Amino acid sequence: MKTSVATVTVCLLLLGAAGFPLDRRGGSAAAGGAKEKRVQYAAWDDVNVIAHGLLQLGQGLKEHVDKTKVQMRETSSKLKVFNRTVTELGKESQRLRVEGEALRARAQGLEDREGQLLNVTAGLRDKAEEIQQERRTVMERVSRLEERLDNMLQGGAVLPDADAGNKNGSDARNIQLMLEAQNRRIDDLVGWMRLQQEKLDKQNVRIRALLSQVTVGLTRVLLVEMASDCHELFLRGETTSGIYTIQPLNAEPFKVFCEMTADGGWTVIQRRQDGSVDFDQLWEAYEKGFGSLNGEFWLGLEKIHSIAKDTGYVVNIKLSDWMGDLASVRLPFRLGGEESKYSLHIQKDGPFSTLESSLGLDAVAGLPFSTRDRDNDQKNDTNCAKHLSGGWWFSNCGRSNLNGRYLKSPPPKHRHQRKQGIFWKTWRGRYYPLKNSLMMIAPAAIQSKS
């Protein structure tokens, strides 16, 4: 840029010197007129130099403007992601703070209740000791009464008169009634103690369960939250590809396969490699996901939506044929929810390349997902998912389908069978079944580093 400006400056100076020389006094008027006429126009070489300098200047300015636009877009995208992240973290921190305070208040209430129960337990223990002491006293009295009864009965055997015998029998009956009453009272007290002990045992079990729940809740609040995607795991230091657990915002945790690269972490949402999994599934299966994360699988529309429901994500599609050739497509996108039939929205600013057009061209305005039991494609007279195979974001059946049948080489001879395979029309054509496909998503910030 600086070289172009310097070149233009030198050219302008040369042109000025050539086209407007200094006036010289003397000489005839004819000579002066001839000279003036001779130097009225700049030399052709000077004009070329100036034109070349201006062209370089224009090219430099255009490159600088284009570079500045790209930097501004990248900066704007990063600022949007950063602002959204800060807002979400603020909301989550506020929620966790409120939850932590509620859990601490609940824990304090449980501690107070436990103290009350301990006091009740101590009171019951004292009461039990009193009852035991009373029981011992009663037993002593019973023993004395039994001795007295024996003596009375023995004495009654030698008394001659009937009045004395009647009196002894009445005393014995009274003593027997007293003993029965005392026994009933003791049995009632023992039953009441047993009932109170059972209630205390239940209260202790409940308190231990509640304390366990509070401990788990507090532990969850205090522990670091799970990452929302594989790129966040990469930023935390994970560099090995494999299965991890993530938890997008406002979603339950679930396992994913993370493809860790030098630029960041990619969350794999689809893999086709050997035909071990049947992809001709119904809507519910495509919504929940199926297959094995270590082999062929579809992550699930609901899980993909929980990760990429907002702008700022890019999908990376890798393809390979049976000759070992590779192709790659990257498109900025977002995925709608169930209410939009999980519509795919491609959000690229400029024109699509030939390779990108197999999916991106139809999904600019949003392309719903279709399966053989949910016909959401744009072809009125045909169910593309049923006609081809598998579930996909179909437009008019003919541009792409990476969830078709896995057809091993050599492919079938009939065209209507080959078109049911995995194809990407603008790469190998509609009737060429591909060998492998891999779909991964990550924040758009990863693309500027690649």
What does pLDDT average to in each consecutive run of 10 residues of the chain (450 residues)?
A: 49 50 44 48 76 85 85 79 75 78 80 77 76 76 72 54 56 73 78 80 79 61 71 94 95 96 96 97 98 98 96 95 96 96 93 94 93 94 94 92 93 88 95 96 77
The amino acid present at 335, given as its one-letter code, is L
Q: How would CATH label the architecture of 230-443?
A: Alpha-Beta Complex (3.90)
Cβ pair 138, 182 in contact under 8 A? yes
Note the pLDDT of residue 216: 60
Note the pLDDT of residue 340.
96
Asked if 379 and 397 touch (Cβ cutoff 8 Å), the reply is yes
So what's the pLDDT on residue 392?
97
> In the numeric block, which tokens belong to residue 436?
């492998």
Write the CB contacts of 398 (distance below 8 Å, at least 6 apart in sequence). Answer: 425, 430
Q: What share of the chain is helix, strand, coil (3-state, %, to 5)?
A: 55, 15, 30
- Which residues, 6 or more positions from 60, have their beta carbon under 8 angstroms from its beta carbon? 1, 4
Dihedral angle sign, alpha carbons of residues 252, 278, 272, 370: negative
DSSP state, 13?
H
Contact 321, 435 (CB under 8 A): yes
Residue ranges covered by each domain of the chain: 230-443
In the prediction, which pLDDT does 27 show? 45
pLDDT at 34: 45
